[in-house]
Amino acid sequence: MQNFDAIVIGAGAAGLFCAGVAGQRGLRVLVLDHSEKIAEKIRISGGGRANFTNRDLDPHAPNKHFISANPNFCRSALSRYTPADFIALLQRHGVAFHEKHKGQLFCDRSAEDLIQMLLHECEAGGVQRWQPCGVKAVRVDGDGVYELDTDQGTVRSRSVVVATGGLSIPKIGATDFGYRLARQFGLRLVEPRPGLVPLTFDGDGWLPYAGLSGLALPVRIETGDKKGRMAFNEDLLFTHRGLSGPAVLQISSYWHDNSPIRLNLAPDADLPASLARAKATSRKLIANELAGLVPSRLADAWVQQDADWQRPVAEASDKALARLAERLSRWEITPTGTEGYKKAEVTLGGVDTRDLSSQTLESKQPGLYFIGEVVDVTGWLGGYNFQWAWASAHACAQALPSP
C-alpha cells in the first residue's frame, strides 16, 4: 500500500494548485481525478481563455463579490493569497494575459496555458497524478490515518483534501462526491443549487418576447426586496427559452424561486423626457422613436403589447407614454426556473463553513480538508470563482502538516 503526506481528490483548479504548492513545500502528494481529461472547467472557462481572477476583488469586503451563509469566511484565505499573487505566478511562467472590463483578467492565448502552468507547478513539487482514477471508499482508522480504495489500489495518508468542485456541467465530470464525503463524516451542508445560470420563462407570459431570441443590450437588473436588494448593470441576452447574458447570470445567484426580477431596459436614457420631447416635435411612430433609445427589434416587439403604443408619438396620450416609459424602465417578470446544472457556471451552497476552519480549510473531521467550489463560497461572474479556488487551495496547502 502506498503512503502519501496528502491526497488531493479532484484535479481541477483548486486541486491542482493545492497539490503543486504542497508538493513544493516538500510533501509527498498524490492528486487523483476520475476523469480522463483533467481541469475541463478551466479549459472551457471564459470562452476558452479563462477569466482567471479579478483585479477589483477586495479581500477585506468579501461579501461584495462572494455569496455564502457566512460571507466573512473567505476573508482569511482571500487576503493571504490575492489576485496580485496569482498574477505574479503567471508572469513567472510567461503566460500572457489582458484585462477586459470590470477588472476581469483573461489569458491572451488559451486557458490551456493556465492548465500547463498548474501541471508544471505540480511537476516542480514532485506530485504524483493518477487519472482516470475514481475513489470507491474513504475510511479513517483510530490513529487518524485515511485509507482510500481507488481504481488503482488502496492508498494511505494523514491528510485528504477534497477538491471535487460543484455539480454544474455533469457531462464534463462534475459529481456530488464532495458532498457525500462531507455527510459521511458528519459535516453539514448548505443545500446546493445552480448559480450563474440562465433563467427560464415558460407559458403564455413569455410569448411576446419569444421572438427576441439573440438580442443583446445593456440593462440594469435587480431582485430582492428592501431587506436584501441586489442589482447589476450588465448586458442582457434574450434566448429562445428566457434570459441570459452577464446581467442574468449575476442576478441568478441571488434569485429565489417564485420571486420576480426587475429590469431597466434603457438604463442610460431619460425615457419620460425623451418621449415627451418626441411627442412635441416628431411625426414618427412610437416604435421608430423608441428605436433611438433601445434596439429596434426590442422597440418593435415592445409596442405590440399595447394598442395605445402602435401610433404616431404625436397622437399618443401622456398617460400611454408614461406607461411605456414605466414598463421599459421597470419591467417586472417572474422566472419559472433556471436552466439547471447543465448550463450553470457554478454551484451555490456546499460544505457548510461552520464546519471548516477559515485559516486552513480543515474540517471538524481532523485531517479532512475542503477547498474550491465544493465549499459554500460562490463568487460573482468575472474571475471571482477561480480566485477563490486559488486562495482556498493555497491556504490549505500551507497548512497541511509535513511528516
Q: Which residues lie near ligand FAD (CB under 6 A)? A: 9-15, 33-35, 38-39, 41, 44-46, 50-51, 134-135, 163-165, 168-169, 173, 175, 177, 345-346, 372-374, 383-386, 389
- Alpha carbons within 13 angstroms on the beta-carbon side of residue 107 total 23
Phi-psi region of 126 (alpha: psi -120 to 50; beta: other; left: phi over 0): left
Which residue's CB is nearer to ligand FAD, number 32 or number 271? 32
Residues sharing a CB contact under 8 Å with residue 101, sequence separation 6 or more, in sequence order = none
Which residue's CB is nearer to ligand FAD, number 302 or number 390? 390
Backbone φ and ψ of 84, nearest 5° = -65, -35
Which residue's CB is nearer to ligand FAD, number 189 or number 301? 189
What CA–CA distances, in Å, run from 215 to 160, 230, 251, 392?
A: 47, 24, 19, 38
CA distance 158 to 367: 6
Which residue's CB is nearer to ligand FAD, number 349 or number 383? 383
Contact between residue 23 and residue 44 where contact means Cβ atoms under 8 Å apart: no
The single residue listed with the C-alpha cell 500572457 is 96
Residue least distant from ligand FAD (Cβ): 12
CA distance 176 to 61: 30
Q: How far apart are the first and last CA of the chain?
A: 18
Q: How far is CA 135 from the centre of its chain?
A: 26
For residue 387, the minimal CB distance to ligand FAD (Å) is: 7
CA distance 89 to 164: 23
For residue 221, the minimal CB distance to ligand FAD (Å) is: 20
Which residue's CB is nearer to ligand FAD, number 9 or number 22? 9
For residue 107, the minimal CB distance to ligand FAD (Å) is: 10
For residue 106, the minimal CB distance to ligand FAD (Å) is: 8
For residue 34, the minimal CB distance to ligand FAD (Å) is: 4
For residue 45, the minimal CB distance to ligand FAD (Å) is: 3
Which residue's CB is nearer to ligand FAD, number 166 or number 212? 166
Which residue's CB is nearer to ligand FAD, number 6 or number 278? 6
For residue 95, the minimal CB distance to ligand FAD (Å) is: 15
For residue 13, the minimal CB distance to ligand FAD (Å) is: 4
Which residue's CB is nearer to ligand FAD, number 136 or number 319? 136
Residues sharing a CB contact under 8 Å with residue 274, sequence separation 6 or more, in sequence order = 289, 292, 293
For residue 331, the minimal CB distance to ligand FAD (Å) is: 27
Which residue's CB is nearer to ligand FAD, number 66 or number 386? 386
Exposure b/e, 60-93, CB count within 10 A at least 16 = b: eebeebbbbebbebbbbbbeebbbeebbebbeee
How does DSSP classify residue 35? S
- Supply 377's cell numbers: 463560497
